[in-house]
Amino acid sequence: MGTRRFEHFSRYNTLLRAVARLIHIASTFSRSTQDSGCQGWHICKKSRSQEDLEKAKIIVLKCTQQDAYSEEIKNINAGHPLASKSPLHKLHPCVDANGLLRVGGRIVQSELGLAQVKPIVIPGRHHLATLLVRHYHETVKHQGRHFTEGSIRAAGFWLVGAKRAISGLLYKCVTCRKLRRTTEHQQMADLPDERLQVAPPFTYVGVDVFGPWEVAFRRTRGGQANSKRWAVMFSCLCTRAVHIEVIETMSSSSFINALRRFFAIRGPAKQIRSDCGTNFVGACHELQMEKSSFSPESVQKYL
């Protein structure tokens, strides 16, 4: 079939431009168009006009309909009724002046245009239907089947089996699968040894800082002066108990003071885990708590 060549195209606009160029090249063999500078087989760099694209659209649609509904078109032109087994039997189709098969209906007297009153019939399983669905699905910015189908109807096309055709393409759409697929669940790593030890509370501690909050620390006649405060959360890795200390700044000295208050209440810890925050790293260097030389005695010296 001639329409099998359409399968070499992945976009509807590209197909129309290619057919429009063929129409232009075919027209250059006539004497009336040889004065335009184009003659015979050539690579024309001129952009195609809207008239050429409209001619290409009619040719593409006629070839597709002749390939899929040749018997129905013959019966309509001959004035015979369609067979009851025909997929177009309930659409009451008709053929327009360009030879295109269109859907019949009872709203001919409305003020709508011909594209809305009598849309062009397109077989849903044809490659042209895939190109149309893909084109108008990108036009509506991947907004789902109903928006895509509405855009196709507004453009003047009636897809036979539109629900299946649109749903099948949306299922394969990479952008839609990224936007609408379920959330992935990350497989977590094994718990560290400290989380599995049987030990007194706050023997193994995890540290982090959260905040800030605006607090009123001084009241004046004109109002109140606000300042920021953060909180250091000490979490026991064994029992999941939580101890919170308030700090005034995100500096290493403020964290060391919070750590001293924590140890004064909860006692010294065997191990402290934290991220690489600048206040944590600075306190580690100042207290000489490097991993290689860390010991409870070295901590007690600074407390």
Say which residue the tokens 């697929």 belong to.
Answer: 181
Q: Is 18 a domain residue?
A: yes
Domain count, the chain: 2
Nearest-angstrom CA–CA distance, 179 and 191? 32
Q: Is 54 a domain residue?
A: yes
Q: Is 129 a domain residue?
A: no
Instruction: Provide the CB-side half-sphere exposure for 209 (13 A, CA).
Output: 22
> Among candidates 213, 206, 209, 229, which has minimal Cα distance to 277?
209
Q: Is 180 a domain residue?
A: no
> Among candidates 252, 24, 270, 11, which has minimal Cα distance to 127?
11
Q: What is the pLDDT along the chain (303 residues), one digit of tens a residue?
A: 578 889 999 999 999 999 998 888 888 777 555 556 677 777 777 777 888 899 999 999 999 999 999 999 999 999 898 888 888 988 889 999 889 999 988 888 888 888 889 999 999 999 999 999 999 999 999 998 999 999 999 999 999 999 999 999 999 999 988 888 888 888 889 988 888 888 999 999 999 999 899 888 777 776 777 889 999 999 999 999 999 999 999 999 999 999 999 999 999 999 999 999 999 999 988 888 765 445 555 444 444
Q: Is 135 a domain residue?
A: no
- Domain end residue (candidates: 21, 36, 59): 59
Q: Is 15 a domain residue?
A: yes
Say which residue the tokens 């036979």 belong to.
Answer: 160
Indicate which CATH number applies to the domain containing 278.
3.30.420.10
Say which residue the tokens 């101890």 belong to.
Answer: 243
What is the structure's pLDDT at 297?
A: 54
Q: Residue 283, by phi and psi: left (phi above 0), alpha (psi -120 to 50) or beta?
A: alpha
- Domain end residue (candidates: 59, 85, 108): 59
Q: Give φ, ψ of 107 to 5 degrees.
A: -115, 30
Nearest-angstrom CA–CA distance, 131 and 115? 19
Nearest-angstrom CA–CA distance, 271 and 295? 9
What is the structure's pLDDT at 37?
A: 65
Nearest-angstrom CA–CA distance, 211 and 254? 14
User: What domain range is 11 assigned to?
Assistant: 1-59
Q: Is 212 a domain residue?
A: yes
Q: Is 71 a domain residue?
A: no
Q: What is the pTM of this model?
A: 0.60
